[in-house]
Structure 1
Amino acid sequence: MKKLIVFALLGFAAVAAVPAKAQVSLSINIGSQPDWGPRGYNHVDYYYLPEVQSYYYVPTRQFIYLSGSRWIHARSLPSMYRGYDLYGGRKIVINGDRPYLRHDVYRTRYATNYVYNRPQRVVYRDYDKHEYKRYEKEQRRWEKQERHDRGHDNGRGWGRGRDRD
């Protein structure tokens, strides 16, 4: 009887130690963001691509672009934008229902003819602070005088076609 209990325990231990290999893992990511999309957003409905004036609808993975007077839903951009770099282009995240119906708003807000120039930081080296303050004071005086003299002489004065006598 002892042998039977020992063999039963060994058999049970052998069966329990073997991992189950019949498990199947299936993961479907419906509406997941594309690889070229910006990171850090929990939820995105649309991307607006201002360089090509198109939208990308994330849940159906379709591009939406204007062709004539109709909005076309397609899996890829039109052939004229074949070389467009989705990874390097600007992408604006829009959460809302059918933003392409308000295309004029987004087109003007995110116009592509922008040039971003960071303001240059002015570094004054080897200048005495007192000299710089004097320059600022003279500059303010000149600007105040320019504002005051702005066209109030109605053309009477030197340099307006009249010579000194």
Structure 2
Amino acid sequence: MKTLKYFLIGVLFLSFSYSQAQVSVNVNIGTPPSWGPVGYTDVRYYYLPDLETYYDVNTSNYVYLNNGRWVRTRSLPSAYRNYDLYSHYKVVLTDYRGERPYDNFKTHRVKYAKGYKGKPQKTIGQKPGRGNNKQGKDNPHHDNGNHNGHGKGKGNGKH
């Protein structure tokens, strides 16, 4: 009788363990790039219409056609190295889960043609060179030649 009892407890334990192993968790491992649009922390891919390229947030790779094959690389093709990712539109693929966003490339290419502009987007970070290096009226150390507050005021002389 004890053997049967232990056997049933073992079966229950194993079935419970097995059912726990069936839980699927979708975790976004990657960190969105600073040029990525604000508000989308749980997406995996962006589509860059002007470049006909995907960006994989999880792996920080660009996915694009190269000589008829889809490739994944850490940087854009050399023809687009000077492309401003902060200024141009990024389509956030919120409805795609998988490894091959390019399976929908024909649809994306038509729906989001080169030059596509959706709703205005704010980026997660600032474009490099625009942070603490401000020029103009917002920076008290740069006066644009107006000498604002640098001892050359327009007062009535000494008092």
Q: What stretches of structure 2 of length at least 5 have no aligned partner?
A: 1-27, 119-159
Larger Rg: 1
Secondary structure of 1:107's counterpart equals helix
- Root mean square deviation of aligned Cα: 2.0
| CA 1:101–1:39: 2 relative to 1, 3 Å | same
Q: Deviations over 1:58-97 (max 9, x none)?
A: 0000000101210010000000111100101110011322
1:106 aligned partner: 108
1:93 aligned partner: 92
Amino acid at match of 1:70: R
Q: How far is the alpha carbon of 1:114 from its aligned partner?
A: 5.3
Amino acid at match of 2:45: Y
- Count, aligned residues: 88
Contact 2:49–2:114 (8 Å) recurs in 1: yes
Higher fraction of helix: 1
Q: What stretches of structure 1 of length at least 5 have no aligned partner?
A: 1-28, 117-165
Write the distance in 2 (CA, Å) between the matches of 1:45 and 1:91. 13
Write the distance in 2 (CA, Å) between the matches of 1:36 and 1:115. 16
Structure possessing the higher relative contact order (Cα contacts under 8 Å, 6 or more residues apart): 2
Write the distance in 2 (CA, Å) between the matches of 1:40 and 1:104. 26
| CA 1:54–1:114: 2 relative to 1, 3 Å | closer
